[in-house]
Amino acid sequence: MVAGCASWHSGAQFVFRRKFSVSKFWNDCIKYKCTIALYIGELCFYLLEKPEGKEDKAHHVRLMIGNGLRSNIWEKFKDRFNAKQIGEFYSATEGPGVLINQVDKAGSIGYFPKLVILLLGGIPLVNFFLTKSKFYTSKIKYDIEKEEIVKDQNGFCVRCQLGETGQFGTSQFSIEI
């Protein structure tokens, strides 16, 4: 659905195969002149496991986009298949936004430049709803031992300091359609 909706929204062509095939993936990309390909699950790992072939770099795919790519295969994948950019994201169907790896670097999902966080007072999320409202998320402290969010004396969540590990929490917002 991610690829289909993005294609329909932008007016781009969309190629759909009934069943994923490691042996036909790059040949399909070549045949249909694909410039963007979606990966899910272990697709990139499976492509790397296939013996090298001439189609590995004969395609026009400039962007691979998907929901998380293991950092231990990131550079191998980019080098072998001449992938210029990997667009990594994390989201949930019930979530109000999405985290995006904006720096195209292995293991950087959820990383936002400190200046952006300081200027905005939080981390901006992509708002997929047709609303005028803006909403942000903050990294909040989490007690791993107690398995609970750390709150202050007033019952509010405590924000993490820059560089501190925590959980992301979003502010509540109203949806205006």
At residue 77, the pLDDT reads 95
DSSP-assigned letters across all residues of 133-155: ---EEEEE-EETTTTEE-B-TTS
pLDDT tens per residue, range 49-92: 999 999 999 999 999 988 878 888 999 999 999 999 888 877 66
Domain that holds residue 98: 1-111
On whether both 118 and 106 belong to a single domain, the answer is no
Task: Say whether pLDDT at 7 is over 50.
Answer: yes
Q: For the whole prediction, is pTM greater than 0.85?
A: no
On whether both 72 and 30 belong to a single domain, the answer is yes
β strands within 46-133, DSSP E: 63-66, 85-91, 98-100, 123-124
On whether both 103 and 138 belong to a single domain, the answer is no
On whether both 136 and 172 belong to a single domain, the answer is yes
In one-letter notation, the amino acid at residue 103 is: V
Task: Say whether pLDDT at 48 is over 90.
Answer: yes
On whether both 93 and 8 belong to a single domain, the answer is yes
Last residue of a domain, one of 79, 111, 143: 111
Q: How many domains does the chain have?
A: 2
